[in-house]
Chains A and B, each alone.
Chain A
């Protein structure tokens, strides 16, 4: 897996979430994703960035343009040092929410992307990695 380009963003305020949307959109357009895929990627990024802010007490996003020999992809890694998620499977279920959301964030995001990974340790933090490949 070749990394073509990387960029990092801070997620500390709700304005940063808007900034995440703008930057992810720009990179997705640069990688020539279609408008529907761009919208899916940006929406997914917005959902996870908000989780990072609200549940992870803020964190960082690393955006990587990657190439696997066949296709170009956009990989987004969200890191926080928050309280962690007790039950990841439960958190991925539609309708489950520990906060004031509708509980669509994680499960819905998984449907919008091609790859979805989540690693979480209680009291250490959560890392969510999502990838979309160009068609």
Chain B
């Protein structure tokens, strides 16, 4: 069975899609990724699509699904490296990928993930101290 490799880097997962995915391979990636997020307790997913020459509605939908599934599993998703021609085509096709964070490069994508995960943690800590006023801070 073919799989797209998912690399773990600290609390993040990295996926570089390097082949033109047929539909089953794309669905397999959804399964593999959600399993891996839970297994590794990952907080963020970065998907590099710079090798993809075409993103049609099926692959676009798959990217949207991955972002939604990850969010439910408490992980943020960033899609990086989209080619200009792919962006033009997606918008004309009527798919502007709502709900998907994008960045031009892997570096900027990682930055977004770090910032978002830090913000979520801060929120959680602020909420915890509100629920426990005057109490000793939880470490």
Contacts and interface: CB of A to CB of B under 8 A. Distances in A.
Nearest to B90: A43
Interface stretch (A10-18, A57-65, A67-75, A78-86): A10-18
B53 to A, nearest CB: 7
A60 to B, nearest CB: 18
Q: Report whether over half of chain B's contact residues are helix, strand or loop; otherwise say mixed.
A: helix
Interface string A84-120: 0000000000100000011011011101100000000
Contact of B22 (A18, A102, A104, A108): A18
A17 B53 CA distance: 14
Contacts of B54: 21, 25, 39, 42-43, 46
Interface of B: 20-24, 53-58, 61, 83-86, 88-89, 92-95
Interface of A: 13-15, 17-18, 21-22, 25, 35-36, 38-40, 42-43, 46-47, 50, 94, 101-102, 104-105, 107-109, 111-112
Given A36-B88, A39-B85, A102-B57, 9 more contacts: A38-B85, A39-B86, A43-B55, A46-B56, A104-B95, A105-B57, A108-B93, A108-B94, A112-B93
